[in-house]
């Protein structure tokens, strides 16, 4: 996996590349996406340099969690969007392009926004029990 220290987001955090800053505190930075899906598309990143959500420290995760609702609300009010998507891709197979944790807040409008759909499967009860037990062991 690419080094989170060598990403474009690390360069933004280091002040080497400018950004359209929306919010910043000691733990996170939010800025407008330069390739927005819709008007107001914003990225929220931790200042902790890790590639995936599960690699984040509890403090960095808590900082994202504290800021995200307020940021989403401000984006909705500022843009007039009546809906939005929150998206976090982890790993290239999941669509992550910059290997530094980042949350997309993407306002949805009639004419623009993230449109997605997926085909739902069926949860097997036996597999569910096995999966729950395995997840529980790793928590």
103-108 and 83-87 beta bridge pairing: antiparallel
Nearest-angstrom CA–CA distance, 25 and 107:
23
Task: Specify the CATH superfamily of domain 4-138.
Answer: HIT-like (3.30.428.10)
pLDDT attached to residue 119: 66
Q: What is the mean pLDDT of residues 73-91?
A: 94
Contact 42, 105 (CB under 8 A): yes
Q: Is 100 a catalytic residue?
A: no
**pTM for the full predicted model:** 0.86
Residue 5 has pLDDT above 80, yes or no: no
Q: What is the mean pLDDT of residues 36-42?
A: 91
Q: Report CA torsion sign: 35, 36, 39, 42.
A: negative
**Candidates 100, 102, 116, 138; catalytic one:** 102
Residue 6 has pLDDT above 90, yes or no: no
Tokens matching residue 25: 């505190």
pLDDT attached to residue 63: 97
Q: Per-residue confidence at 115, pLDDT binned at 50, 70, 90?
A: low
Question: Could you tell me which residues come within 8 angstroms of residue 34 by beta carbon, excluding any fewer than 6 positions away?
Answer: 20
pLDDT attached to residue 110: 76
Task: Give whole-number Cα distances, 86 to 43, 63, 67, 106, 130, in Å.
Answer: 10, 16, 13, 6, 29
Q: Hey, where are the domains in the chain?
A: 4-138
Residue 2 has pLDDT above 90, yes or no: no
């Amino acid at each position: 996996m690419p080094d989170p220290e060598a990403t474009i987001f690390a360069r933004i955090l280091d002040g080497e590349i400018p950004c359209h800053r929306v919010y910043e505190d000691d733990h996170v930075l939010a800025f407008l996406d330069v390739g927005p899906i819709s008007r107001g598309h914003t990225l929220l990143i931790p200042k902790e340099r890790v590639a995936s959500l599960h690699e984040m420290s509890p403090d960095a995760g808590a900082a994202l969690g504290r800021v995200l609702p307020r940021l989403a609300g401000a984006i909705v009010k500022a843009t007039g969007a009546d809906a939005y998507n929150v998206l976090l891709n982890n790993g290239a197979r999941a669509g992550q392009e910059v290997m530094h944790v980042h949350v997309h807040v993407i306002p949805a409008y009639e004419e623009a926004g993230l449109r997605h759909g997926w085909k739902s499967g069926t949860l097997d009860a036996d597999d569910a029990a096995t999966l729950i037990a395995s997840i529980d062991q790793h928590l």
